[in-house]
């Protein structure tokens, strides 16, 4: 039995601009991963400080709406103690939210597919009103 990584592949994608909120991007990721190994790991990393990645509910869109509302209530804009304000009222809260969610996720590969649960999808968590396109690095370990 081989207990070490044999091969590493890396891809980059640029996501189109998304509105502020939580967006399922599983199809964008899977479309880049046509020949996955039978067993391995995929690490997905976003190269930004005001957006994040997460895995969550992929069926009911109200989950994404609720997450947006919860985050906006927990981390509001225009707080008097924010010092980093030159890039807009949504910028500092976006950095905080991004730090809470994180910039990368790792997903096992099983039988040549991402081993996501039946109700799981990969989220782009866009915390800016006008975040622009987002760059993602995907690394496949087999």
Specify if 1 maps to a domain. Answer: no
Count of domains observed in the chain? 1
Domain of 61 in residue numbering reads as: 19-141
Q: What is the CATH number of the domain that holds 137?
A: 2.60.120.460
Residue 13: inside a domain, yes or no? Answer: no
Q: How far is it, in rounded angstroms, from Cα 47 to Cα 10? A: 14
Q: Classify 118 in phi/psi space as left (phi over 0), alpha (psi -120 to 50) or beta.
A: alpha
Report if pTM > 0.85: yes
Residue 35 belongs to some domain of the structure: yes
**Is residue 6 domain-resident?**
no
Q: How confident is the prediction along the chain (142 residues), in pLDDT tens digits per residue?
A: 556 667 999 999 999 999 999 999 999 999 999 889 999 999 999 999 999 999 999 999 999 999 999 999 999 999 999 999 999 999 999 999 999 999 999 999 999 999 999 999 999 999 999 999 999 999 999 9
Whether residue 121 contacts residue 26, with contact meaning beta carbons closer than 8 Å, is answered with yes
**Radius of gyration, alpha carbons of the chain:** 17
């Amino acid at each position: 039995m081989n207990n070490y990584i044999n091969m590493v592949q890396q891809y980059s994608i640029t996501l189109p601009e998304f509105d502020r909120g939580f967006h399922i991007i599983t199809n964008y990721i899977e479309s880049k991963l046509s020949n996955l190994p039978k067993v391995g790991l995929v690490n997905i990393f976003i190269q930004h400080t005001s957006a994040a990645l997460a895995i969550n509910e992929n069926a009911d869109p109200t989950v994404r709406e609720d997450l947006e509302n919860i985050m906006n209530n927990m981390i509001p804009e225009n707080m008097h103690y924010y010092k980093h304000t030159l890039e807009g009222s949504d910028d500092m809260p976006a950095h905080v939210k991004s730090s809470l969610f994180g910039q990368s996720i790792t997903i096992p590969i099983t039988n040549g597919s991402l081993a996501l649960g039946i109700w799981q999808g990969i989220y782009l968590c866009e915390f800016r009103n006008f975040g622009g396109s987002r760059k993602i690095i995907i690394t496949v370990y087999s």
